[in-house]
Amino acid sequence: MMMKIKAQLAEAILGGVLSIAPDCGMDAEGVQTLLEYPPDPAMGDIALPCFKLAKTLRRSPVQIASTLAPLVAGDCIERAEAVNGYLNIYLSGAYLANALIPEILEKKEKYGAPDFGKGKTVVLDYCSPNLAKPFHIGHLGTTVIGHSLKMLHEFAGYKCVGINYVGDWGTQFGKMMVAYKKWGDRQTVEEGGVDALVDLYVRINNAIADDPSLADEARAEFCKMEQGDEENLALWRWLVEKSIKANDVTLKQLGINFDSYKGESAYTELMPAQVQKLRDQGLLKIDDGASIVDLEQYGMPPCLILKRDGSSLYPTRDIAAAVDRKEMYDFDKCIYVTSNQQILHFQQWFKVVELMGYDWYEGLVHVPYGTVSVNGAKLATRTGNVVLLKDLFAAAIEKVTEIMEEKNPALKGREDIAEAVGVGAIVFYYLSNNRIKDINFNMEDALSFDGNTGPYVQYTYARACSILEKAADEAKATENVTVTTPQERALCIVLSQYEEKVRMAIRDYEPSVITRYILDVATAFNRFYHECSIFGAEDPAVKASRLALTEATKHVLGSAFGLICLRKTEKI
């Protein structure tokens, strides 16, 4: 909606610009990119900083703003004012309400959905934990950022394929083989599950620190796996099964399902063809017994393809997987969501794919995110310094349950609601941050029910549902919506920005755009709720309009929740 308004404004402003300088070469699209949202509503709903036009129009910003102000008009514009070189534009509340609210009520949670993804396919590789280890807070980023990006792309019309490319291959399994054969037994692992596997993993890493020869044993065990040793492969299959089963419990709490669980092991038979292609093209070189692709001329270290013992590495498997995915899904984009510590890894193998002549290399996208520490301490599974997601979620759910027992003990379905709010609190806390920033995870802040938190916005949604339930038999305005207060007008403006925010989030691969937008909607709605009586409105038209505005808010919040893995809560 706001995008349509901005397009109208740009056309109106362009007319004024051309009246000043007919040959300036500007167009409406160029003008639209200059429009901004002022930090203070008193400075207008939309502003044009005229200093950006000073060079083109050969006039001062103050002169430009003064000249444009009386020329900018349209059915969406209430007035335009020139203030210190800015053109401050105030939108018509009546236009906003009557163009916006009926559209939202008609489209419901489909309102704001772009359509630029229709006919295109996106593959998303996210979550992708190394198995035989627990789901810990370090995995939260890739999981919720990745799933949010999937939901955003689906909302824009893309066909999306979510892949949990589990780390079910590699040297860590060699370590697990050594640890299990030395200290493990089947009964302990069956009873202890992934926690028992973590104990073994921590123990072997501590042992390697004291006796480096154990690392050679681990590499030898993994090499046996790659060469088809059935004893190791049988043990490996069992360890993978235990790990996936444990991970699925946490994914279910997040409401996440994957279209494919094709892990690294699936590419054991596909890697040799890609390695041979590199040899045939003269790209593969031998360096100290290892096989590499030299990337020095591209400003990067060599990309290691095979170790000296002939075993594969992450780039080898990633290249084979990308080729397989292109053949299987014919993707337009293949998005990888991993920590920023892997930026160089993806730059390297993306370049190797390009050098191999695959013309779809431009569709490969790496979306990095910052690291997570807990109270300043870095996380490492090998030392046992982790916060398990299942424990974190359990703590959040327990706190929500305590609050609900105190404030609403008669609420039905409290267990499901407590899980939705508790898990939602963690997810919202994480996605409130720009994805590239490092996060020092603070449990108290994440679980707080005050301020800009998940529980706050979920409670806002529940409030809107409660109002509509109470007004089930009341008339709602579906046209001729009446806006009588600044709070109603402000809420309309925020709701009108939804599609624009969705486009920004997809463009920048940034779910926090949606999280912050949800907070803006919740804040605007709560101000409206406290300042504008709904059931006490004397004018039936005003009451009907406020109920319509409440329903519109519910649809937008519900839709936006779905884009960031946040469950809707009709009651709290």
Q: What is the pLDDT of residues 389-413, one digit of tens each?
A: 888 888 889 988 988 888 888 888 8
Instruction: Work out the average pLDDT over 52-77.
Output: 91
Instruction: Work out the average pLDDT over 278-306.
Output: 95
Closest CA to 426 of 347, 497, 372, 360: 372
Instruction: Work out the average pLDDT over 372-386.
Output: 57
- Specify the pLDDT at position 377: 54
State the DSSP code for 119.
T
- As a whole number of angstroms, the distance between CA 214 and CA 177 comes to 11
Q: What angle do CA 315, 317, 320 make, to 5 degrees?
A: 105
Q: What is the pLDDT of residues 313-366, one digit of tens each?
A: 889 999 999 999 999 999 999 999 999 999 999 999 999 999 999 999 999 999
- As a whole number of angstroms, the distance between CA 299 and CA 188 comes to 49
Are 380 and 156 a contacting pair, CB within 8 Å? no
Using CB atoms within 10 A of its CB, is residue 110 exposed (0-12), middle (13-18) or buried (19+)?
exposed
Instruction: Work out the average pLDDT over 201-208.
Output: 90
Which top CATH class is 389-562? mainly alpha
pLDDT tier at 265, thresholds 50, 70, 90: confident
Using CB atoms within 10 A of its CB, is residue 187 exposed (0-12), middle (13-18) or buried (19+)?
exposed
Are 201 and 130 a contacting pair, CB within 8 Å? no
Question: What would the two tokens of residue 57 be?
Answer: 């129009």
Residue position matching structure tokens 């003269």: 282
Instruction: Work out the average pLDDT over 290-318.
Output: 92
Share of the chain above pLDDT 70, in %: 97
Average pLDDT of the chain to the nearest whole number = 91
Instruction: Work out the average pLDDT over 59-84.
Output: 92
- Specify the pLDDT at position 379: 47
Are 339 and 142 a contacting pair, CB within 8 Å? yes
Residue position matching structure tokens 């020869």: 213
Give yes or no for residue 71 having a pLDDT over 90.
no
pLDDT tier at 382, thresholds 50, 70, 90: very low
Are 566 and 454 a contacting pair, CB within 8 Å? yes
Largest CA distance in the chain: 85
Helices (H), 59-185: 61-68, 93-107, 140-155, 171-183
Instruction: Work out the average pLDDT over 481-496.
Output: 94
Burial string for 277-315 (b: 16+ CB within 10 Å, else e) reads bbeeeebbeeeeebbbbebeeeeeeebbbbbeeebbbbb
Where along the chain do its domains lie?
A: 2-91, 122-272+308-383, 389-562
Q: What is the pLDDT of residues 85-104, one digit of tens each?
A: 999 999 998 898 899 999 99
Which top CATH class is 122-272+308-383? alpha beta
pLDDT tier at 375, thresholds 50, 70, 90: low
Indicate the pTM of the whole model: 0.91
Residue type at 487 in one-letter notation: Q
Q: Give φ, ψ of 313 to 5 degrees.
A: -130, 180
- As a whole number of angstroms, the distance between CA 178 and CA 193 comes to 18
Question: 70-79, 275-284, 554-563: which has the minimum mean pLDDT?
Answer: 70-79
pLDDT tier at 383, thresholds 50, 70, 90: very low
Kindly write down the DSSP assignment for every residue of 359-386, as one continuous string: TTGGGEEEEEE--EEETTEEPBGGGTB-
Beta bridge partners of 292: 285, 304
- Specify the pLDDT at position 381: 45
- H-run or E-run covering 89: strand 86-91
2-91: CATH, from 3.30.1300.10, 3.40.50.2000, 3.30.70.1350, 3.30.1360.70: 3.30.1360.70
- Specify the pLDDT at position 450: 75
Question: What would the two tokens of residue 100 be?
Answer: 């916006």
Kindly write down the DSSP assignment for every residue of 452-513, as one continuous string: SSHHHHHHHHHHHHHHHHHTTTS---SSS----SHHHHHHHHHHTTHHHHHHHHHHHT-THH
- As a whole number of angstroms, the distance between CA 297 and CA 14 comes to 47
Instruction: Work out the average pLDDT over 494-518.
Output: 98
Residues 6+ away with beta carbon under 8 Å from 387: 136, 137, 374, 379, 441
Closest CA to 6 of 42, 35, 48: 35
Instruction: Work out the average pLDDT over 289-307.
Output: 95
Give yes or no for residue 526 having a pLDDT over 80.
yes
Give yes or no for residue 260 having a pLDDT over 60.
yes
Closest CA to 42 of 82, 90, 94: 90
Question: 252-266, 289-303, 524-538: which has the minimum mean pLDDT?
Answer: 252-266
Question: What would the two tokens of residue 432 be?
Answer: 């409130």
Using CB atoms within 10 A of its CB, is residue 352 exposed (0-12), middle (13-18) or buried (19+)?
buried
Are 28 and 7 a contacting pair, CB within 8 Å? yes
Q: At what angle do helices 213-226 and 230-254 cross, to 10 degrees?
A: 90
Instruction: Work out the average pLDDT over 302-317.
Output: 88
